Amino acid sequence: MGAIVSVLLSLVPPGGHVVATKDSYWEARMFIQNKLSLMGITATFVDMNDMDSLKEVLQNNKVSLFYADSPSNPLLNCLDIRKVSELCHSHGALVFIDSSLASPINQKPLILGADLVLHSATKYISEHHDVVGGCVSGSENLISKIRSCHYDLGSPLVPDAAYMIIRGMKTLHLRVETQNNTALKMAHLLEKHPRVAGDLQATMKFVDSLRLPYIATSFGGCESLVQQPAVMSFWDYSAAERAKIGIKDNMIRFSFGIEKFEDLAADILQALQKL
Ligand SMILES: Cc1ncc(COP(=O)(O)O)c(C=O)c1O
Ligand SMILES: *[C@@H]1O[C@H](CO)[C@@H](O)[C@H](O)[C@H]1NC(C)=O
């Protein structure tokens, strides 16, 4: 969050306008809506890839910055970064992409035309569920504008966290490849399974019956994590609010770690058997 806030405070002037996607990281969205507004900064939230709305906002406002998570969390909507970057740049707006869910191995937004890319290093980059940190990459010109702000906010990385991140990154490509393969194989295994359906209660029972993954938020670490957004990240939303943003009662978010695929699959199948 320190990195996200530093970018917003450094690059959006008072009276500026921010465009963000509707399913961008919730805390960041709340910051834009409730705190930036106090500085006279206005914001519009658009649907991912709704180019017509984006074009309209760009034409009618002096947009300083476009901000999106891609893939989004937890719905995994993906942005056409190249197309959005071309459109935003033609109106003088910077493009800022939170690429935490893809990891730097699976998506490189700067190559696709974005100006700034953010990673919550708490996730894949550190990978061991023991560090809170973040990073922003972009041109030297933009980064030098952001640098002083993260000191002002008191959010520089502490040395022991920096050390753990450097150590963790050496195996990033190996871990992401394993996590990637596990996720794809699991999707194939489950897409035709007759018990993958159910209501809020059945889903809670399934999650509680799992023995390997930890029930927790966050993602991208060595240990598999599982969570049911309707009763965890979005516990304080009404059913109607959740439905509006696409959080179904029976939605489960897995973040696979680097355990053996066979062990994870056996665990999921035994928990399904309990339903
Ligand atoms: C997509 C995304 N971006 C940013 C963050 C914020 O990360 P941190 O906890 O490292 O501040 C999160 C946290 O869950 C996230 O999911
Ligand atoms: C992850 O899986 C996707 C889809 O199969 C593939 O395109 C990508 O190259 C994979 N990445 C790694 C690091 O294996």
Q: Please tell me whether residues 135 and 20 are part of one structural domain.
A: yes
Same domain, yes or no, for 21 and 144? yes
Helix 81-90 to helix 51-60 angle (10° resolution) is 20
Structural contact between residues 47 and 53, judged by C-beta atoms closer than 8 angstroms: yes
Q: Is the per-residue pLDDT at 245 higher than 90?
A: no
Two tokens, residue 77: 């909507």
- Out of 168, 189, 205, pick the residue that ends a domain: 168
Q: Can you tell me the distance from the alpha carbon of 224 to that of 213, in angstroms, rounded to the nearest whole number?
A: 5
Instruction: Label residue 94 by pLDDT band (50, 70, 90).
Output: very high
Range of the domain at 210: 172-273
Residue 110 CB-half CA count within 13 A: 11
pTM value is 0.95
- Confidence (pLDDT) at 260: 98
Domain boundary among 135, 168, 201: 168
Identify whether residues 101 and 188 lie together within a single domain.
no
Q: Which ligand is nearest to the CA of 104?
A: 2
Q: H helices within 130-249, ranges in order?
A: 140-152, 159-169, 172-191, 200-209, 239-244
| Structure confidence at residue 196 as a pLDDT band (50, 70, 90) | confident
Q: Are residues 89 and 132 in the same domain?
A: yes
Question: Would you say residue 222 has pLDDT above 90?
Answer: yes
Q: 80 and 193: one domain?
A: no
Domain check: are 12 and 146 in the same one? yes
For 137-149, what is each residue's pLDDT tens digit? 999 999 999 998 9
CATH code of the domain containing 63: 3.40.640.10
From the CA of 98, how far away is ligand 1's center (Å)?
9
Boundary of a domain, candidates 125, 144, 168: 168
Number of domains, the chain: 2
Ligand 1 pocket (Cβ < 6 Å) reads 1, 25, 69, 73, 98, 100-101, 120, 122, 132, 134
Q: Which of 120, 157, 225, 253 to mutate to test the pocket of ligand 1 (most atoms within 8 A of CB)?
A: 120
CB of 172 shorter than 6 A to ligand 2: no
Based on the fold, state whether residues 181 and 118 are members of the same structural domain. no
Residues 260 and 205 grouped into a single domain:
yes
Statement to judge: residues 80 and 129 lie in one domain: yes
Is 87 in the same domain as 129?
yes
pLDDT score, position 197? 85
Reported as half-sphere exposure (CB side, CA atoms, 13 A), residue 151 has a value of 5
CATH code (residue 230): 3.90.1150.10
Which atom from ligand 1 is nearest to the alpha carbon of 69?
1
- Domain shared by 191 and 55, yes or no: no
State yes or no: pLDDT of 58 exceeds 90.
yes
Count Cβ atoms below 10 Å from residue 116 Cβ, excluding itself: 23
107 and 183 in a single domain? The answer is: no
| Burial of 253 (C-beta count, 10 Å sphere; 0-12/13-18/19+) | middle
Closest residue by Cα to atom 5, ligand 1, is 120
Report the distance separating Cα 189 and Cα 242, nearest Å: 28
Is 132 touching ligand 2 by the criterion CB < 6 Å? no
pLDDT number for residue 87: 98
Q: Can you read off the two tokens belonging to residue 134?
A: 């973040």
